[in-house]
A = this chain, B = another copy of it.
Amino acid sequence: MREVAIIGVGMTKFGELWGASFRDLGIEAGMKAMNDANLTGSEVDGMFVGNMSSGRFINQHHVGALIADYAGMASRNVPATRVEAAGASGAMAFRQGVMAVASGMHDIVVVGGAEKMTDVNDDATNSILDSATDQQWEASMGVTFASLNAMIARRCIHDGIATREQIASVAVNSHAHGALNPNAQFRKAINLDTVLRSSVVADPLTVFDCAPISDGAAAVVLCPAEMAKKYTDKPVKVVASAQASDTLALFQRNDITTFAATVAAAKRAYSIAKIGPKDIAVAEVHDHFTIEGILALQDLGFFERGEAGKAVMDGQAAVGGKVAVNTSGGLKACGHPIGATGVAQVVEITKQLRGDADKRQVPNARYGLTQSVGGTGSAVIVNIMEAV
């Protein structure tokens, strides 16, 4: 198996981008990543696209071929593969890209993620998002992702895993970082009161506990590690990419105060990378809802069960803390254009490990991690990257 390196990254601004189409966004991110890798484009021999639901958001399936076409890759018949796993779509596309290079079947691979969510109305958006729950046993009963996460939050509060204030502090941490990221959808620091006193979405979660609806795209370029220095002075190595599943429906779990798929994917990733959670300096985790941020920090092994919330309140998840979490602003403040998110997490970690993260830079970071979640922990991908 060949070692794989990241040689270029790029992303669009995340937000309500009414002036840009899905294809505009995908191409902008891809071009930025290829420029960052000093490629002309003719070196690329494989593409992967993470996308959740262009089929419903913009009535367009087959977006692998679409992006290959508009990126000018069709003239050389460069293969492009679309991957979907709800909120983990981008991360899963990234893992397929890693596999493609590791296998020897491809050399220079562009992985892009994109979603254009703001071209439909709110009812349509909710119906699309909820179609990633178990349609037969959850969505058709009226369950939404917000209500599922509210149930998790209530159970965590009941079991003493985190207080309401500690859960809310995840949003405060993400917004503080997002304020420093020029690509973030929300660039405004907030305090606990803002979260606790805003409109309730699904009790106890308020609108500030939930990531926004976003447009955006992100891309990375991969190649065999031994070829990386040909393209960049600062390659970043992918030392592990692990994936795990859990039941699609939340009610089928024994314990909803942990995501077993995060635990399993993290265990596999640490084992492959031969490191532990204490070695991770910077992490991007899936805070689609603040409570997921709490679960991530304990399931990834950064903090003991019941300690994650306090740690975030104490600044241990900020730059300068024990592990810098969501320096991009996370899903909460950077935004969550679904298919793009997992790739954007890798973009942020790559920037951190190259020392290119400007005002939000974590000093001397050697290892960085991304955790991406599809559904309510039904599919999780954990990637570990290393500065070289």
Contact = CB atoms under 8 A, between A and B. Distances in A.
B243 A79 contact: yes
Interface in A62-114: 62, 64-66, 68-69, 73-74, 77-86, 92, 95-96, 99-100, 102-105
A139 B100 CA distance: 32
B61 A105 contact: no
A249 B84 CA distance: 23
A16 interface: no
B69 A245 contact: yes
Q: Is the interface of A mostly helix, strand, loop or mixed?
A: mixed
A379 B62 contact: yes
Tally of this chain's copies? 2
Given A1-B105, A99-B103, A99-B105, A375 B65 contact: yes
A135 to B, nearest CB: 4
A83 B252 CA distance: 25
Interface in A129-179: 131-132, 134-136, 139
A229 interface: no
Interface residues of A, number: 64
B82 A83 contact: yes
Contacts of A278: none
Contacts of A66: 134, 248
Contact of A64 (B1, B60, B247, B379): B379
Contact of A81 (B103, B135, B243, B264): B243
Interface string A169-210: 000000000000000000000000000000000000000000
The 6 A-B residue pairs with the shortest CB-CB distance in the complex, in nearest-first order? A103-B103, A79-B243, A77-B244, A77-B264, A65-B378, A60-B135
Interface of A: 1, 21, 23, 52-53, 55-56, 58-62, 64-66, 68-69, 73-74, 77-86, 92, 95-96, 99-100, 102-105, 127-128, 131-132, 134-136, 139, 241-249, 252, 260-261, 264-265, 374-375, 378-379
